[in-house]
Amino acid sequence: MRVLVIENDVELGKIIVDKLHASEYQCDLAENFGDAKYYLDIRNYDLVLLGWEHSSHIDISLVTDIKKDVNAASVIVLSSRTDKESEIEALKSGADDFIRKPLDYDILLVRIEAKLRFGASNIIEIDELIINPEEEKIIYQGEEIELKGKPFEVLTHLAMHKDQIVSKEQLLDAIWEEPELVTPNVIEVAINQIRQKMDKPLDISTIETVRRRGYRFCFPKKIS
């Protein structure tokens, strides 16, 4: 599960990330609005923790922007605001939960687990193709397809951005924990595995190459 922590209190943000890493969550930390928008553009998140204070440069309207996405992540607002009106404003903007600071990290982790367990499904269904990111499972016409690991993640990311062109660099940033340590060739390898294990046997086309720009999820499209 991938979590984005948006917190302009740098030390607090790092503590939260360390706690989440210890619980085996994948995390990114954004310290300002610009960084938050960047991460949200290139990666898919299961959950966003949004720090919101009176003095913060992060606006609560960011919740609305997150929720507009077709694969909207759950959002938990973390705030030291004690007035009832702030909590109401956060929830009305689309937040799934509101937790007051100072944080009890044990309770925070339990609330995160509950939200991820009972939150909105990330399952992608297009015609007869079903992609279930939570169980790393693909089903086509009722039959399960054997595609795991990075090829599965590449397919899922492209499917979540259906009809959009996604560059190799964007795929590396979205999927690999340390994209600077791998070469863009790993994307070509993953795409080739998708085509060999899925497209050719099923006589379908899920991903098309857009020359010099990247890749686009194009299913349903029969191979001609």
Residues 130-155, mean pLDDT to the nearest whole number: 90
Q: What's the CATH number where 55 sits?
A: 3.40.50.2300
Strands 74-79 and 47-51: parallel
Alpha carbon distance 60, 106 (integer Å) = 25
Q: Which two tokens stand for residue 104?
A: 């009890």
Alpha carbon distance 111, 203 (integer Å) = 44
pLDDT number for residue 224: 47
Q: Return the SS3 of 66.
A: helix
Q: How many domains does the structure of the chain reveal?
A: 2
φ, ψ of residue 155 in degrees (nearest 5):
-60, -45
φ, ψ of residue 205 in degrees (nearest 5):
-130, 120
Residues 2-24, mean pLDDT to the nearest whole number: 94
Q: What's the CATH number where 156 sits?
A: 1.10.10.10
- In tens, the pLDDT along 30-86 reads 998 889 988 988 888 889 999 998 776 677 888 888 887 645 688 999 999 989 899
pLDDT above 70: percentage of residues in the chain? 93
Query: Quick check: 15 pLDDT over 80?
Result: yes
Query: Quick check: 209 pLDDT over 80?
Result: yes
pLDDT above 90: percentage of residues in the chain? 51
CB count, 10 Å around CB of 213?
11
Residues 184 and 137 placed together within one structural domain of the fold: yes
Residues 29 and 76 placed together within one structural domain of the fold: yes
pLDDT number for residue 118: 61
Alpha carbon distance 115, 93 (integer Å) = 17
Residues 22 and 95 placed together within one structural domain of the fold: yes
**Where in the sequence is the domain holding 75, given as residue range(s)?**
2-118
Alpha carbon distance 40, 198 (integer Å) = 29
Highest mean pLDDT among 52-66, 130-144, 193-207: 193-207
